[in-house]
Structure 1
């Protein structure tokens, strides 16, 4: 039924006519629902990505946290190690993504005393989530 024919119907005839016989109304409803679902999916996808650490270079603090993980891998008793809260020095080459982090850690020696050791880690960020080890290329680790 065309819209012009719908206008020519009496009130009684309009009541008796089922709305499914109006294809424009049904088509518009289907497209409205599909569009609404698409918008909801896009918004949920964007909000879900807000917690991922990609598409930016790591900060000095983030690189320090990853360097501590590389140092822990070299220690005999990493669970007893006490790291500094911040790095002593950190040199960052943003062009190549090379991070050179220096700090200290207190580790337990053979006699059970805590002694302070200086460590240096040189690593390169290779893209991806900075919090994952496979996003980094370890160049060198020195613990004195």
Structure 2
């Protein structure tokens, strides 16, 4: 039945006909639409917050990783440096956000031989993402060769 034919029917004929002007909206389709909309909003909210770990202090492992970056800056051939798997000594002053880290590295000397050196880094965490270099301020960086 066309809409133009619907207008020609009287009230009793319209009641007896099972044709409706608009299809009924099902509750399932309403909830599905709301669920998809909520999922999109949550996903977009999470994707905008890419740095979740900003509001906490860096761990010992994270501080050690950043200290190695500062040591590599001081080396002549940082690509050939072999760092120890963990820090020899690590002290964190949480009140002032100062990190003292000590460890060793094997570097190539002028003769082409690998020699072991001990390094120490004192750095200050200035807030932000721990993996970004500008979140740290190196206070003292020393490398001492050991025979």
Task: Provide the TM-score with structure 2 as the length reference.
Answer: 0.73
Structure with greater Cα Rg: 2
Large movers: runs of 4+ above 4 Å: 29-32, 49-52
| In 2: Cα distance, 1:84 partner to 1:51 partner | 28
Kindly report which structure 2 residues correspond to 1:17-56, keeping only aligned pairs within 5 A, or say none: 17-19=20-22, 33=33, 35-45=34-44, 47-48=46-47, 49=49, 52-56=52-56
Kindly indicate whether the alpha-carbon contact (under 8 Å) linking 2:51 and 2:129 is maintained by their aligned counterparts in 1: no
For residue 96 of structure 1, report the CA deviation from its aligned partner: 1.8
CA RMSD of aligned residues (A): 2.8
Kindly indicate whether the alpha-carbon contact (under 8 Å) linking 2:64 and 2:86 is maintained by their aligned counterparts in 1: yes
User: For the structure 1 residues 18 and 73, does the alpha-carbon distance in structure 2 shift closer, same or farther, using more than 3 Å as the test?
Assistant: same
Does 1:69 pair with 2:74?
A: no
* Aligned residue number for residue 10 of structure 1: 15
For residue 55 of structure 1, report the CA deviation from its aligned partner: 2.0
- Deviation string for 1:10-31 (max 9, x for gaps)? 352xx333127x9xx6xxx889
* Aligned residue number for residue 96 of structure 2: 96
Q: SS of the residue aligned with 2:112?
A: coil
For residue 36 of structure 1, report the CA deviation from its aligned partner: 3.4
For residue 43 of structure 1, report the CA deviation from its aligned partner: 2.8
Q: How many residues align?
A: 128
| In 2: Cα distance, 1:83 partner to 1:45 partner | 40
- Deviation string for 1:69-107 (max 9, x for gaps)? 110011000011110000001110112211111111111
Does 1:114 pair with 2:117?
A: no
Structure 2 unaligned spans of 5+: 1-13
Higher helix share: 1
